[in-house]
Structure 1
């Protein structure tokens, strides 16, 4: 009897397919390290949108700060500045007092604690340069059970993990490519049911159970359902076209690239340009932004995030059906 643990058996197990999978896993692992450390190792404010109530000359000095940490827009009043923050057109505001030496900086820690802290440092730098004092007011803070406004990010990550794990399980158990269009449609229907339940479960956990994000149960439920469905549908579509490798591609998109760029631990204006450019267009970032805007900013600025999530869901479903329609190739089993 041939012994699989013998040198000959070991050589037989090291097929090109197995070797390719091992190399692929190594590349994903190294990409994970590069993406996370590359985006987080040196957070630096870059072009944070800020409303400024001050003479044009003072606003120009703020705009000329070394490294361009903020991008000021002059407004007429504190009320207008607050409205811009609430409408997600600005992340903070600098109010110069024309009748004294104490200015005010408005921040919104609900949009992310690190970003609010970065704005505070910039505001203190501006005030010190002009020999003025500074008062900091957090006009939209995160809840007492939502430290640094991180709950939105972890909620989205939990939903995403459920989406691509479900798709991966279906691929392993039932095959990566549905044999017929009807089977592809059946998978989508099953995923839709799962997505509704997953969205409901996440909303229950963050609202009535942990009280981390309170008062927006229904909105979060259906946002989670859309996110989970889109993630699962896209993962299944990738499996239909690339086989088991599609699971790795999904991990690269949603985790390796999506997590660091999502604005969770560090917001988009604190990370390097590559991650800042892609974050809004990946479900992780779009979902994180959507949750914060629903809970803390009266639903303002939801248009783009919801559109992004809907496009991923539609594209995933359409590509899965297209993959189901394609001629099936003989499956190749890979020895483990």
Structure 2
């Protein structure tokens, strides 16, 4: 039955777009008279669209602020350095290094050169300063032992600090790199770029599942199935990433299965967190929060381009507590340092994975209790006659 107040005029064919048969979206005379430009603006940009544009603007601004804040002026802060010096001058050398303006290093004494080198390779310090005993030479030469595979920027900065300090004392310093990056690893950034790719794949995989089947699974069985699918996806993604970084480019060779496990856990952590955020907050807000955690905050603080001692305090503090930074440390220190100094990173990455899984399950339970989620329909309905017989 036609509505009582329906406007007069010839009926339009079914499927004709609003505003005319040409699909131009132009308003008719009465609509234009009622709303004018403001009416057209309201039709063109809804409140929801304006809200989404505001969200995109905030994400864009977050990118700019976070990356520039982390990278615009790298400054050394308390780079850990082991000092080996004759007993009569050891305390003086440590005190002199710790008194440098701006507090660029944190020097501690080491008993001998072998111990100091082990500390560098076990990632407890970033450099070892070996002071040559007095020998009567016109310009005594000391050594700075570094492992640039752990972060070329830190090694170079430590070398510059040592050279300036020694020049002021009338001494020279020789740089000894005991663990440089692989020739195919360039500036030691392969671990960072591998982790970025795996993390992006993880949270985009969760977003793809949400777009295909809804961000809020109808029951706990669906949550379990989706997490299982993401676990398989993580294993395949980790394998593919290690194949690219090892056999294909030979950038991080020699630890294939260890890196595969780390890569799979990295993808699973990002996917589980991404799914948990979407279940709790919905797709749009969940994806935005995943971008905040993994990209806006995670990438610049991860220690890839500039390791933690060169980052401002905020980014240095959060870097190893986020999945991107923990995974970067795991990959780099496994590939170059036999896994030394990675225990915290393992705990952090595992905690994010478990947290994402718990968020997905608890979010589904809470939404079910509040009646937000629809009741699950039978997966395989019987014949039409069987359905009628149950009514």
Spell out, residue by residue over 1:239-259, the C-alpha distance to the aligned partner (whole angstroms, 9 max, x if none): 011112110110011000000
Aligned-residue offset at 1:33: 0.4
Please tell me whether residue 270 in structure 1 is matched to residue 305 in structure 2.
Answer: no
- Which of 212, 225, 248 aligns to 2:264? It is 225
CA-atom RMSD, angstroms?
1.4
- Which of 325, 329, 332 aligns to 2:372? It is 329
- Which of 41, 52, 77 aligns to 1:21? It is 52
Please tell me whether residue 143 in structure 1 is matched to residue 182 in structure 2.
Answer: yes
Aligned to 2:100: 65
Please tell me whether residue 91 in structure 1 is matched to residue 122 in structure 2.
Answer: no
Aligned-residue offset at 1:99: 2.7
Spell out, residue by residue over 1:150-208, the C-alpha distance to the aligned partner (whole angstroms, 9 max, x if none): 00000000000100111111111111111110000000000000000000001111111
Q: Which of the pair has the greater relative contact order for Cα pairs under 8 Å at 6+ separation?
A: 1
* Unpaired segments ≥5 residues, structure 1: 332-336
**1: CA distance between counterparts of 2:25 and 2:277?**
35
**1: CA distance between counterparts of 2:373 and 2:266?**
33
Aligned to 2:25: 5
Aligned-residue offset at 1:60: 0.3
Secondary structure of the structure 2 residue equivalent to 1:46: coil
Aligned to 2:346: 306
Aligned-residue offset at 1:2: 2.3
* Unpaired segments ≥5 residues, structure 2: 1-16, 27-36, 375-391
Contact (CA 8 Å) 2:70, 2:311: kept in 1 or not?
A: yes
1:1-336 matched pairs, under 5 angstroms: 2-3=18-19, 5-6=25-26, 8=39, 10-54=41-85, 55-100=90-135, 101-244=140-283, 245-325=285-365, 326-327=367-368, 329=372
**1: CA distance between counterparts of 2:257 and 2:44?**
51
Secondary structure of the structure 2 residue equivalent to 1:306: helix
**2: CA distance between counterparts of 1:306 and 1:190?**
23
Secondary structure of the structure 2 residue equivalent to 1:149: coil
Aligned-residue offset at 1:75: 0.5
**1: CA distance between counterparts of 2:216 and 2:333?**
37
**2: CA distance between counterparts of 1:223 and 1:269?**
24
Aligned to 2:10: none
Aligned-residue offset at 1:20: 1.4
Q: More deviation in 256-265 or 168-177? A: 168-177
Aligned-residue offset at 1:330: 7.3
Aligned-residue offset at 1:323: 1.4
Contact (CA 8 Å) 1:2, 1:9: kept in 2 or not?
A: no
Q: 1:228 to 1:149 in 2, by over 3 A?
A: same
Count of matched residue pairs = 331
Aligned-residue offset at 1:10: 4.8
Secondary structure of the structure 1 residue equivalent to 2:163: helix
Secondary structure of the structure 2 residue equivalent to 1:106: strand
Structure (1 or 2) with the larger CA radius of gyration: 2
Aligned-residue offset at 1:52: 0.6
Contact (CA 8 Å) 1:52, 1:72: kept in 2 or not?
A: yes
Contact (CA 8 Å) 2:218, 2:373: kept in 1 or not?
A: no
Aligned to 1:334: none
TM-score w.r.t. the length of structure 2 is 0.82
